[in-house]
Structure 1
Amino acid sequence: MKNPSSLRIAMSERVIIADGAMGTMLQEANPTLEDFQGHEGCNEILNVSKPELVKSVHRRYLEVGVDAIETNTFGANWANLAEYGIEDRIYELAFAGGKLAKEVAEEFSTEAKPRWVLGSLGPGTKLPTLGHTDYINLKSAYSEASKGLIDSGVDALLIETTQDLLQAKAAINGARVAIDDCDRDIVLIAQVTVEATGTMLLGSEIGAALNALEPLNIDLIGLNCATGPAEMSEHLRVLSKNSSIGISVMPNAGLPQLGANGATYPLGPEELAKYLAEFVDSYGLTLIGGCCGTTPAHLKAVVTRLENHPVATRKIVQEVGASSLYQFVPFRQDQTYMSIGERANANGSRAFRDALLAQDWQSCIEIARDQIRDGAHMLDLSVDYVGRDGVADMNELASRLATSSTLPIVLDSTEPAVLKAGLEHLGGRSVINSVNYEDGDGPNSRFAKIMPLVVEHGAGVVALTIDETGQARTCDWKLAVATRLIEDLTKKWGMSVGDILIDCLTFPIATGQEETRRDGIETLNAIAQLKVKYPLVQTTLGVSNVSFGLNPAARTVLNSVFLAEAVKAGLDSAIVHPSKITPIARIDPRALEVALDLVYDRRVFDQDGNCTYDPLSVFLELFDGVETKSSKITRAAELAALPLIERLERRIIDGEKVGLEADLMEAMGSGIKPLTIINEHLLAGMKTVGELFGSGQMQLPFVLQSAEVMKTAVAILEPHMEKSNDAGKGKILLATVKGDVHDIGKNLVDIILSNNGYSTVNIGIKQTVNQIIDAATEESVDVIGMSGLLVKSTVIMKENLEELSSRGLAEKWPIILGGAALTRSFVEQDLADNFDGTVRYAKDAFEGLSLMDSMMAIKRGDEGVTLPALRQRKTPNTRANREPNLDTNRSDVIENNELPTPPFYGSKIVKGIPLASYLNSLDERALFVGQWGLQGKRGEYEKMVEDEGRPRLRALLNDVQSKGW
């Protein structure tokens, strides 16, 4: 192990201040074409042609007191130098640039104030994700440049201004090759560039960048270039709360402004220093500096404020997961399992296989994208097929999915070469499916060949409970193999437990063979016990194998029931096809009962050992001759037999569009107003959907189906709604917050408000606080409305309010918040207490309309109008105000009873008990009255329970379940 460098030690103690712009400083000297050796604009040539000019820039920054300077090697890479035809000079120019910087740093370095050199590695001009070049070529070129810098004596490598995550991976891994070959400790830093749009150039969110790059053994991650510090604040907040490694930032001196003399940067030295001081204290930064437009004067102001400033402590709440090029997806989903779409599999989908054999790549991509629309969280991709060139097929599909899929890819293959091909096209963080001990873990095993790829690309990994003796069938066997896998992957290969997805394997339980009867139970027990032993590990299953051999209708029911039971046991994810899963609430009660009996092998035997009840036989009888299509027809007939109002609600719950328009027209024809249909009947169905979702009886894909039916119904009803003639009453901006794609409630608010005379600016889903502020400012809105369904959206809303306050914008716009995970008490107490402006909770679109009416009346100055008072939580003192009466009479119980020996002394915490197993024992009244203080007369109490108690309890339970408790 290498001894830690002085730079690494210093970074652990204080904030390191780096220099500012290099290129603009060099251009001020007006180098000649001769200085550039005929390669005009190639600043790296100046390292050998005008070394004193380059040194003079370094000196100007060191004179103002910076701790570190960057080398003049930003363009010393293959892509840039190839444009001049001098790509063979990468090492030469990198070495020369590093040597100049090191010489000047040593001139200024003292024992009391050492100076360090950061070797700059820019992005070049070729984006591998877009096919401009490939990963291997870039990795090799960055390795060569890194070697030149390290040989010159630099203290760190700074990969900066990256715009493509795949390019960043190639640069990091190329740099790592050079670092591993060096006998010194070299700090490795990666900085991405987030544009003013809120994403990297190719569309990557900061969460995706962090997830993709942090596992690559870098020391710091940060931002530089493109924008000024103000635009970086939101992204730094994400890094601060989620990054387990240090954070850096090097902003421009504001957003560039184009004038007659070209681009200028508006931010002065004191303004930059003020921003960076706030960032250092608020976000716990380790390394700061400047980028375009920053000068020695800017850095002097920064040094004056922050020299020897300690690194602030950060509270990190890190989510584990994977990412596409565009977004991060956590392995543990709010209120549901993580669904891995299974259809892009040459051995599991006939449609995909036919498209693959025909080399119809676009059809293959459409099959994958259909699963995105169906609500999958990740996509499994398998091209393994006898007679095909798997590497060639993977190159074709992974390169296309890299930009066409918003979801992370699970690369499913037994061949290391095929996995390698996929990884080298995907900029996000993928998951490898899979590793196991089928042929051991020796140097020639598949395990030993796959794991270096996992480590190089920072991938997650699915690990199957298979060892040298076969597929683990019993609970104990599964646990033993899982334990061996986890210990191996973490201790030998350096993986985090949370990045491992253990597959405890499913086997067919409907074969009728005695040895398979308990296979389902063994898998469920293994999942539950594994989660107790390793709470942070992920669990996954390929569910459909459990029903192998049954007809399609029976498979759908058994798959659905087994999946539901596995989720209760602690399953985090499943490889499934949403159309082959049915919500438990939709399954016939008798079929559900028998399916559970089959899963848990609840056969009944008489005294002679004869089986008098075999759930397998009954299950087969229930589905004898039943086809999936006829099941749908039966459900449609049942729906048609219901009364109209009940039928409308049921359509929402079942996600059934067929016949919807006719039912709505019939309802309006009977005299029911459109708003009444929405408010009293359709929303009643959505409320039931929410309750089923919260209790785990309905999974996310079916919630999305219900939401789509709701959206369709509202679109049908909207033209028939009475519109207010009072135009121009006010304007509201509506946004679903960052990371949340659910917008049915927000869109309903849009319709209700716009039909009542308000102008609405609906900017859509996954909106960052910067996008919300920019749109609100540009559109001159009066009020901002934010919504979200997920539990984590409540955290984002809190952060958004904090950001509004920190920017002095809290009083500019009143805020209305809504969404399934919110409660009135959370908004009007927790959030309002920490927000300088006005914020209110709207439980539905109609309360949102009422709040909007009041807010606009107050803005107009109407007399006597006030907003509803913020709800104050009642917290009565439950402690008795009098001394207890002690009864001193002795009981009649005999005193010579034997005392039982307790199993343990003191307190003990039992972990791993599924929440569902003891939730039915919860005493709601004791909680609502005794703990939360919801008291009042009978009618008032019941209203408080419905308005605050149960919504608050649901949000709390959702939060607990999302954390895997």
Structure 2
Amino acid sequence: MSAAARSDALRRAFATRVVVADGAMGTMLQAQDPSMDDFENLEGCNEVLNVTRPDIVRSVHEEYFAAGVDCVETNTFGANLAALGEYDIPGRIHELSVSGARLAREVADGFATPDRPRWVLGSVGPGTKLPTLGHAPYVALRDGYEANVAGLVEGGADAILVETTQDLLQTKAAILGAHRALRKLGINLPIITHVTVETTGTMLLGSEIGAALTALEPLGIDMIGLNCATGPAEMGEHLRYLSQHARIAVSCMPNAGLPVLGKDGAHYPLSPEELADAHETFVREYGLSLVGGCCGTTPEHLRRVVERVRGLDLSPRNPRPEPGAASLYQTVPFKQDASYLAIGERTNANGSKKFREAMLEGRWDDCVEMARDQIREGAHLLDLCVDYVGRDGALDMSEIAGRFATASTLPIVLDSTEVPVLKAGLEKLGGRAVINSVNYEDGDGPESRFAQVTALASEHGAALIALTIDEQGQARTPEHKVAIAERLITDLTTNWGIHESDILVDCLTFTIATGQEESRKDGIATIEAIRELKRRHPLVQTTLGLSNISFGLNPAARVVLNSVFLNECVAAGLDSAIVHAAKIVPIARIPEEQREIALDLVYDRRREGYDPLQAFLEAFEGVDMKSVKAGRAEELAALPLDERLQRRIIDGEKNGLDR
């Protein structure tokens, strides 16, 4: 059977029945007591045994296949840049990957029959470096994984298993490296990804399972699951989440329980029968496609698993995906239950003088503090823009995005007109970013900015903000806005494989405060375009750079107009907005007279003797921000002391705590 035929057969098996993989490799190899000569004096480097003691490695594969498993993992867990770099042999990545895959392939072919194929999973381990913490550059790790996977394919692997991952940025480096290798070789193998969730309930760096799914599923993987760190008892709730939300197949390879320290050292207490019980439950309740074992599991463990679950039809799943973005720590759905998705605008060098000055002076801690301020103010995502004439934008983006990656719990919107700047940000963020933005200003040819940015978003699994701008400029009528949006949606879904729910269309607005006749109905045009777009495409997200509507007005007037206009847009179907969340006032707190004049202005309700723009300007003549801010102070002052303190503490506000 050809390599392509084997991988196709494996994909069909994953889609129809339960497939069983092997168990632990390292402990099985160590049990045969290889010598230091066998390790070439590289103690603990199991991958070297592929060359020096192929008989030992073959024997492990043979034991698992004899137990009845469908597939085995290659002995290449450490055949990557970080792990082999510890032994000063990074140049042997390809060699050891090929040799490990070739050994597994030979044994698999020896056990395969015409009606019972046996498969090889190319093991891609995490290495010893966490790029999110700056241990190694993302690009270097990605290129090392590309060499790793190229060797696995050459040796005969039928699928790539990226496993035991602890840092989402490292996981992405491995997946993208695998994709690059497969594209260059012209072969399409399944990519399986296993994250490792600790007993704390998160990955090592604090990532929840939801963040992992949101960040990794858009990268074009075939299956997601868990392995290592814990036994099956600790994995149940995480598997439940994946089963309920993942569009792709789900898998699990647990340890044989949590290690127990005894007089002879640590051992894993879970019996073969108990592992089989757990997998039978997981298969039945969560619809797993692939099961196996990790540390402490033996051929006998897998023999019992094979007897219980191998070949069973998949239990039906009805996943409910939650489109969204993710930080390193958490996922944030685009759809907010009780409100709009607030994209904080204060970390934008073009819109915030304070942020720009901190960036120009290299006051990175101040930049981080501004991000944290927006978290306290109620933002859900952070818009990060570092574009400034005369600066190295890629360097600034790398510096700030790298800090935001760990210092902010919110996902990042990378906002730039420069492709290298966007790329620098994506290579620092383990979570799922949103890119702001694409449009058709210079067309959609292969060299256009649209094509370059969309290709980058597609590779890194980012969501996209798409602006209603074409070769003729920014659309102003509802019809033109919707027509461009339709073109964008068709292009992005058909030609780039991006889900409708991962497209955020900005119908754009101009200021309505100039008094010019052509701008009077711009607010109406935006509202109508949003309403019609959501009618046609309910799954598409809508967003808006809100503050444009009030450009030119004094600060107090802008707060009211922005708040009223946002309320109208949300009623029309707006999902998100780029705003300063602290400067959005609840409609109920705006005096009725101001609210009505603002609505007259938005909907251009002119009549003889009444111009809403003039009335609005007069209503805010002499009004400053102190009166607007006083509203929140008065609201807090009216609360009982314990509630006031609680609100201050939750919001992280020091002001007022000493009173």
Paired residues for 1:369-384 under 5 Å: 369-384=372-387
* SS of the residue 2:544 aligns to: strand
Structure 2 CA distance for aligned equivalents of residues 281 and 59 of structure 1:
29
1:898-923 per-position Cα deviation (integer Å, ceiling 9, x unaligned): xxxxxxxxxxxxxxxxxxxxxxxxxx
Q: Verify the 8 A CA contact 2:377 2:651 in the aligned structure 1.
A: no
Matched, 1:535 2:544: no
1:44 counterpart (44, 47, 72): 47
- Partner Cα distance (2:651, 2:442) in 1: 48
Confirm whether residue 475 of structure 1 aligns to residue 478 of structure 2: yes
**Residue 506 of structure 2 corresponds to residue 512 of structure 1:** no
Gaps of 5+ in 2: none
Which stretch shows the higher mean deviation, 453-462 or 258-267?
258-267
Which secondary structure does the structure 2 equivalent of 1:5 belong to?
Answer: helix
What is the CA–CA distance in structure 1 between the aligned matches of 2:448 and 2:238, rounded to whole Å? Answer: 42
1:10 and 2:13 equivalent?
A: yes
Question: Which position in structure 1 is the counterpart of 2:626?
Answer: 629
For 2:591, which of 588, 591, 602 is the aligned residue? 588
Matches within 5 A, 1:102-121: 102-121=105-124
Alignment-derived partner of residue 249 in structure 1 = 252
CA drift at 1:157: 0.6
1:420 corresponds to 2:423: yes
Cα gap change, 1:376/1:631 in structure 2, threshold over 3 Å: closer, same or farther? closer
Task: Tell me by how many angstroms 1:336 deviates.
Answer: 0.0
| Aligned partners of 1:375 and 1:704 also within 8 Å | no
Contact kept? 2:489, 2:500, Cα under 8 Å: yes
Residues in 2 aligned to 1:708 and 1:360: alpha-carbon distance in whole angstroms: 24
Structure-2 separation of matches of 1:393 and 1:22:
44
Q: Write the distance in 2 (CA, Å) between the matches of 1:314 and 1:600.
A: 47
Instruction: Give the Cα separation in 2 of the matches to 1:487 and 1:564.
Output: 29
Matches within 5 A, 1:1-80: 5-80=8-83
Q: Tell me what 2:615 maps to.
A: 618
Contact 1:429 1:459 in 2 (8 A): yes
Q: Distance in 2 between matches of 1:367 and 1:709?
A: 13
- CA shift, 1:187, in A, is 1.3
- Correspondence 1:645-656 to 2 at 5 A: 655-656=635-636
**Contact map agreement 2:215 2:430 (CA 8 A) in 1:** yes
CA contact (8 A) 1:5 1:185 kept: no
2:35 is paired with a residue of what secondary structure? Answer: coil
Name the counterpart of 1:362.
Answer: 365
Q: What is residue 198 of structure 1 aligned with on the other side?
A: 201
Distance 2:47 2:651 in 1: 56
Shift of 1:655: 3.8
- Could you say which residue in structure 1 is the equivalent of 2:323? 320
Count of aligned positions: 654
Partner of 1:891: none
Aligned-pair CA distance for 1:712: 12
On the 8 A contact 1:237/1:283 being kept in 2, the answer is: yes
Which residue of structure 1 aligns with residue 451 of structure 2?
Answer: 448
Counterparts of 1:686-765 in structure 2 under 5 Å? none
1:315-358: per-residue Cα shift (whole Å, max 9, x none)?
11111000000000000101100000000011111110110111
Q: Which of 538, 548, 553 is the equivalent residue of 1:550?
A: 553
Alpha-carbon distance change, 709 to 329 in structure 1, aligned in 2, over 3 angstroms: closer
Q: Does 1:189 align with 2:192?
A: yes
Contact 2:376 2:651 in 1 (8 A): no
Kindly indicate whether the alpha-carbon contact (under 8 Å) linking 1:655 and 1:706 is maintained by their aligned counterparts in 2.
no
Q: Does the Cα contact within 8 Å between 2:23 and 2:298 map onto a contact in 1?
A: yes
One-letter identity of the residue aligned with 2:317? R
Note closer, same or farther for the CA distance 1:487–1:705 as it changes in structure 2 (3 Å cut).
farther
Q: Do residues 561 (structure 1) and 561 (structure 2) align?
A: no
Give the gaps of 5 or more residues in structure 1. 605-610, 637-650, 665-677, 686-702, 718-965
Q: Measured at CA, do residues 631 and 182 of structure 1 come closer, stay the same or move farther in structure 2, by a change above 3 Å?
A: closer
Query: Are 2:162 and 2:192, in contact at CA under 8 Å, matched by a contact in 1?
Result: yes
Q: Name which of 144, 153, 156 aligns with 2:156.
A: 153
Corresponding residue for residue 724 of structure 1: none
For 2:357 and 2:15, the matched residues in 1 are separated by: 56
Residue 42 to residue 706, structure 1, CA distance change in 2 (3 Å): closer
Contact 1:410 1:432 survives alignment (8 Å): yes
Render the CA deviation track for 1:278-323: whole Å, top value 9, x for unaligned.
0001000000000000000100110111121111110111110000
> Secondary structure of the residue that 1:346 maps to in structure 2?
coil
Provide Cα deviations, 1:369-390, integer angstroms capped at 9, x if missing partner.
Answer: 1101111100000000111110
Q: Is the 8 A contact 2:22 2:69 kept in 1?
A: yes
Q: Are 2:506 and 1:503 aligned?
A: yes
Q: Residue 260 of structure 1: CA displacement?
A: 2.5
8 Å contact from structure 1 (residues 128, 167) kept in 2: yes
Deviation at 1:10, TM superposition (A): 1.4
State the Cα deviation string for residues 107-144 of structure 1 (Å, max 9, x = none).
11112221100010100000100001111101110010
Alpha-carbon distance, 1:183 to partner: 4.2
- Give CA deviations for 1:216-256 in whole Å, capped at 9, x if unaligned: 11000010000000000000000000000001100000001
State whether structure 2 residue 442 is matched by structure 1 residue 439. Answer: yes
Rg larger in 1 or in 2? 1
User: 1:575 is matched by which residue type in structure 2?
Assistant: I
What CA deviation, in whole Å up to 9, does each residue of 1:495-553 have, x standing for no partner? 00000000000110111111111000000000000000100000000111101111111
**Using a 3 Å threshold, how does the CA distance of structure 1 residues 71 and 437 change in structure 2: closer, same or farther?**
same
2:86 to 80, 83, 102: 83
Distance of 2:650 and 2:197 partners within structure 1: 33
Q: How far apart, in 2, do the equivalents of 1:595 and 1:78 lie?
A: 60
- How far did 1:631 drift? 4.4
Q: Counterpart in 2 of 1:753?
A: none
CA contact (8 A) 2:648 2:654 kept: no
Distance change (3 Å), C-alpha of 1:529 and 1:660:
closer
| Aligned counterpart, 2:101 | 98
Match of 1:577 in 2: 580
SS at match of 1:379: strand
1:124 aligns to 2:104 (yes or no): no
Aligned in 2, Cα 1:572/1:115: closer, same or farther, shift over 3 Å?
same
* Aligned equivalent of 2:243, options 224, 234, 240: 240
Q: CA deviation at 1:449?
A: 1.3
**Quick one: distance in 1 between partners of 2:254 and 2:295?**
8
Match of 1:385 among 384, 388, 395: 388
Alignment match of 1:170 (pick from 166, 173, 176): 173
Deviation at 1:579, TM superposition (A): 2.5
2:287 maps to 1:284: yes
Among 208, 212, 235, the alignment partner of 2:215 is 212
Higher RCO, Cα 8 Å, sep 6+: 2
Q: 1:734 matched to which residue of 2?
A: none
| Secondary structure at 1:612 match in 2 | coil
Does the alignment pair 1:144 with 2:147?
A: yes
RMSD of aligned Cα (Å):
2.1
Q: Which digits, 9 at most, give the CA deviation of each residue in 1:173-196, with x for residues without a partner?
A: 101111123344411111000000
Matched residue SS, 1:204: coil
Q: Aligned partner of 1:262: which letter?
A: G
Matches of 2:353 and 2:184, distance apart in 1: 48
2:178 alignment partner, SS class: helix
Partners in 2 of 1:632 and 1:300 — Cα distance? Answer: 68
Aligned to 1:273: 276
The TM-score with structure 1 as length reference comes to 0.66
The aligned amino acid for 2:513 is A
Does the CA contact (< 8 Å) of 1:656 and 1:709 recur in 2? no
Deviations 1:612-643 (A, max 9, x none): 2111111111111111114445x59xxxxxxx
